[in-house]
Amino acid sequence: MAISMLVSRDAALIETVLAAAAAAQVGVVVARDTETLRRNWVSAPIVLVGADMAATVVGLGLPARRGVHLCGPEAAALLSWSVPLDAPVMVLPDQTGFVSSLLVGRDELGAGGATLLRVVGGSGGVGATTLACGLAQRGHRQGLQVALVELDPCGGGIDLVFGAEQAKGWRWPDLASAAGHIGDLHGQLPNVSGVDLVSTGRSRTSNQQRSPASAGLPQAEAVQAVLASLSRSHDLVVLDAGAHPDPGVGTHNAQTLVVVAAEVKAVVATRLKVAAQTLDGAMAVVRTGPGRRLDAALVGETIGLPVLGVVPHDGSLPLALESGTPPGLGGRRFAKACDRLLDGLLGVEVAES
């Protein structure tokens, strides 16, 4: 049976990973040279790359693969290699518990069969959050078990979009201590119109000072553990990444949708973002409407992404949102556009509402 591989010459890192492997009762081959690295690159179920050898791995031009994770003591050094290797980051020894779970094959995102969709705003104010909510709601209309996860620490609470700010259930502050392999979260989260929500928190009183721990996202290990749990228990997990997605959050197995408005300034901003973040495999969703009249094909060509579909302006959508109707249930044009996107992504036909 193939065993996982650690690519590193860092004695402290090797000791940490081998201790985690021993605790999980699994083997790990340590690749200190390129020959061992090449020999095990394809067959190893999990590849852990130390920051000390990340440049070597990138320079070898090895075939792209899933299951690669960067690990080491310094987050900044790891993040600089996250995009070139298309790999999430684990800071060790802080996240040693997650290493054990990875090595026994329990927390690879997508391992549970869920489809992960990450929605990114090409620029501010393009309705990326509304689209994420709409896709989640329309997925539920198809009979899928759906979760919607807020990954924008400044998003303000995706439960507000659903009119569910008073709904009982766990939010990110309640999940801050999650690590490694966690159980089924269904039934513990706010559920609105059939969609499970993982929302950021908010201050409970007007004079309470917000802190990152109480209002934003927890550390990457907790986010990774929650996403892994949802990928096992749900059919579709929609990630609202906001306009500034964190490359350190382990969403490398997600299909990324970049939302771009069909107007010049937004297209230029999106092109710069796509170039800076190298969003390989991403697809564009073009928002049209008043002041947004550029041709969708031209938009896609300019930003360098294939166009999945167009979401036209729906004048009834703002009124529906003001009344507390979740996106995807109010605004027929918007709902139909979400249906078409899901059909293109998942090959499903969503029932008429």
Same CATH fold assignment for domains 4-103 and 115-346? yes
306 burial class (0-12, 13-18, 19+ CB within 10 angstroms)?
exposed
Instruction: Give the angle subtended at the CA of 234 by the CAs of 343 and 47, to the nearest 5°.
Output: 100
- Helices 264-277, 296-303: crossing angle, 10 deg rounding: 40
pLDDT at 287: 96
Give the number of other Cβ atoms within 10 Å of residue 65's Cβ.
12
Domain 4-103 belongs to what topology? Rossmann fold (3.40.50)
How many whole angstroms separate alpha carbon 258 and alpha carbon 256? 6
User: What token pair was written down for 250?
Assistant: 């382990």
* Contact yes or no for 103/26 (Cβ under 8 A): yes
In 199-315, which ranges are E strands? 236-242, 255-261, 283-287, 307-311
Domain boundaries, the chain: 4-103, 115-346
Q: Output 268-272 pairs: Cβ under 8 A, ≥24 positions apart.
A: 269/122, 269/123, 270/122, 270/123, 270/303, 271/302, 271/303, 271/304
Residues 266, 124: Cα–Cα separation, whole Å: 8
Three-point CA angle 170, 191, 158, nearest 5°: 70
Tokens for 244? 């500034």
Over the chain (353 residues), the average pLDDT of each successive run of 10 is 89 94 88 95 92 95 87 85 82 78 60 82 92 95 94 86 88 78 81 94 48 59 84 92 70 85 97 84 93 94 94 87 79 90 74 51
Task: Report the alpha-carbon distance of residue 271 to residue 260 in Å, rounded.
Answer: 9
The CA distance from 197 to 322, in Å, is 19
The whole-number pLDDT of residue 292 equals: 95
Spatial separation of the C-alpha atoms in residues 81 and 74, rounded to whole Å: 12
Tell me which H or E stretch contains 132.
Answer: helix 128-141
Please name the fold of domain 115-346.
Rossmann fold (3.40.50)
According to DSSP, the residues that pair with 49 across neighbouring strands are 7, 70
CA geometry: angle at 256 spanning 66 and 38, to 5°? Answer: 20
Please name the residue that has the structure tokens 């298309």: 86
